[in-house]
Amino acid sequence: MKNITLTTLLFFISITAFSQTATTYFSPVASPQGTVIQNVGMTKISINYSSPGVKGREIFGELVPYDQIWRAGANSPTKITFSTSVKIGDKILRAGEYSIAVTPRSEGEWTVDFNSAGKYPFAYMTDGKIDMEAYNEDLAQSINVQPRLFSEDNFERLFYSINANDNKVARIFMIWSNASVEFQVDTMPEKHLENFAKTLK
């Protein structure tokens, strides 16, 4: 009986070891999926996006037209998720998932939109143009930010970065081609700590 038990145990150990070392392949795509996750204060922030390449093209102003809402990635919507409520600009956004869209401009500030329905701009297309009334109904927040522009295409692939900064207000960057856009997310740790303390009373 002991021999049978030992044999069974060794069998399951070998199966587990094999499953842990098994190779997994993904189909190569033009705009590979990317994910960035960062804990800031008492909040977990994650961004899921597709990462298109420059590939010798002029990006902002041509592939991505100025003064038009862009999904800030490729393929599926670019989505940002907050595990707690956060403050962006002058508004508090509830915990949950939002899609990000950006409107680039040749001069001045760019606009960053946060869509509460998790949709990208194309979902609101009617007769070849965006139905702005429907789009704005799902708009949780819209902020203007000053882009940082470079003289050359320094970044082949679009990517997002989350800087925990002071562990209270996160600095989030979208970088691609010759442009970098930053917006800040106040994770309000003091407020969440206060709310948590009330649950202990």
Q: Which residue has the tokens 């869209």?
A: 101
DSSP 75: S
Nearest Cα neighbor of 78 from 168, 153, 183 is 183
Instruction: Report the C-alpha gap between 31 and 82 in whole angstroms.
Output: 24
Residue 23 is predicted with a pLDDT of 79
Residue 171 is predicted with a pLDDT of 98
Q: Which residue has the tokens 């979902």?
A: 123
Q: Which residues pair with 160 in a beta bridge?
A: 174
Residue 15 is predicted with a pLDDT of 53
Mean pLDDT by 10-residue block, N- to C-terminus, for the chain (201 residues)? Answer: 52 54 78 96 97 95 96 95 98 98 97 96 92 96 96 91 97 97 97 83 70
Counting beta carbons within 10 angstroms of the beta carbon of residue 30, is it exposed (0 to 12), middle (13 to 18) or buried (19 or more)? exposed
Residue 6 is predicted with a pLDDT of 54
What is the phi/psi pair of residue 160, to 5°?
-115, 150
Between strands 43-50 and 78-82, the pairing is: antiparallel
- Supply the pTM of this predicted model: 0.85
Residue 11 is predicted with a pLDDT of 55
Q: Within the chain, what is the greatest distance between any pair of CA atoms? A: 79
